[in-house]
Structure 1
Amino acid sequence: MSDNNEQQLLQQLEDKQALRELGTLFARAADRADRSLLASLFADGAQVSDGGFSGPASEFVGVCVAPAGLERSFHSVSNEFYQVDGDTARGELYVITVSTWNKDGAKTDTLIGGRYLDEYRKVGGAWKIARRTFVHEWNMSFPTTTVWDEGLFGMIKLRGTRGQDDPSYTLFGEKA
């Protein structure tokens, strides 16, 4: 293999890894309600079509981090497929989201499965989301069965939170 081919292969691998990290950071930012992190993942002028929202990513960020009644969410991204072409790329990421919603004291757990169909652009050497479209595949909703203070679950005191009080911010030295 020539040096040029090796460099191209290495660049493609680096780009695809950076795109995977971008998808993971999106899940982290959404689940932690981290407005600044979420905003940093989108290119200027990016567009989002995510079910009930269709418009500029700059507006989507506010909708995503502060929906009324959302107590917790957990995004899991998998089955990532990317095509890179220089400083642009396309990707399909499968996503499952588990959320707990509180409406007037009635709590509902919701599971949603779908895919993100993304277009990416490299900006200043960093990959950003230029367009994101959510494709809904399935969902389930039911009254919450969450148990926080009984048995094994009562012994587990370290819990995730929406916001920078989440333990991951301390781990990565990001606590404000």
Structure 2
Amino acid sequence: MSLDAPNTTEDLLAKEDIRDVLARYARGIDRADGELLKSCYHADAEEEHGSTYAGPAHPYIDGAVARMKKNPHPMAHYICNTHVERDGDTAFVETYVLTFARFEKDGEPYDTLTGGRLFDKFEKRGGKWKIAHRKMTFDWNRDAPSAEGWCLGVFDPEDPKMNMWGRDGKDLTYTRF
């Protein structure tokens, strides 16, 4: 597909399917949902995640989910601009991503915000688009002590009417209305 060629209906459907996979990935990683994450990758997919991992994607997911379940703090992945270049049943996809995470250092909470890009090779197999190979590029990072004030006190996270994040199946991702 040339970069300035008009989209065909098949291109548009492929792009929407690919964006759905990317959104499902963000949802799965933030909820530490291994089954949902694995649904984004082909069984033989490869994952290259910076200096932390390079190898088969499904074992990477198993390790990441185990680590996330031990961390009692929130994490959020935001999918931004996505560029898809489709060539038949293969697509090369660049996606900007912002990741927020809270970790503890010396017993104190720290917030980290990272900007990067996902470079994915998607393949359509059996009628489904999934990630066949992923490489991560890290563009920038900002770490700072946590200073959570909930909009200077406008919101009260202890109020039972507040819907707060969770990985335990009580999150609105799973309970809905």
Place the TM-score, normalised by the shorter chain, in its bin: 0.7 to 0.9
Q: Secondary structure at the match of 2:8?
A: helix
Match of 1:38 in 2: 37
The reply on whether 1:87 has 2:89 as its aligned counterpart is: yes
The alignment's TM-score, normalised by the length of structure 2, stands at 0.86
Q: Residues of 2 paired with 1:38 and 1:100: CA distance?
A: 21
1:104: how far off? 5.2
1:71 aligned counterpart, secondary structure: coil
In the alignment, structure 2 segments of 5+ residues that lack a partner are 1-5
Hey, what's the Cα distance between the residues in 1 that align with 2:63 and 2:105?
17
Any stretches of 5+ residues in structure 1 without a counterpart? 1-5
**Which residue matches 1:129?**
131
Q: What is the alpha-carbon distance in structure 2 between the residues aligned to residue 26 and residue 113 of structure 1?
A: 16
Provide, for residues 26-85 of structure 1, a one-character-per-residue CA deviation record: whole Å limited to 9, x for no partner.
100000111100011101210101121111101111222232536211111111000111
Give identity over the alignment, percent: 36
The answer to whether the aligner puts 1:55 opposite 2:60 as a matched pair is no
- Distance in structure 1 (CA, Å) of the matches to 2:167 and 2:155: 19
Q: Determine the structure 2 residue equivalent to 1:143.
A: 145
What is residue 29 of structure 1 aligned with on the other side? 28
Look up the equivalent residue of 1:65 and give its one-letter code: V
Q: 1:111 to 1:64 in 2, by over 3 A?
A: same
- Across the aligned residues of Structure 1 and Structure 2, the Cα RMSD in angstroms comes to 2.2
Aligned-residue offset at 1:102: 2.6
Residue type matched to 1:61 in 2?
Answer: I
Give me the whole-angstrom Cα distance separating, in 1, the residues matched to 2:72 and 2:59: 18
| Contact 1:99 1:109 (8 Å CA) reproduced | yes
2:27 aligned partner, one-letter code = R
Shift of 1:103: 4.2
Per the TM alignment, residue 161 of structure 1 is displaced from its structure 2 partner at its CA by: 1.1
CA–CA distance in structure 2, aligned partners of residues 32 and 103 of structure 1: 22
Number of aligned positions between the proteins: 166
Aligned-partner SS, 2:131: strand
- Equivalence map 1:105-124=2 (5 Å): 105-124=107-126
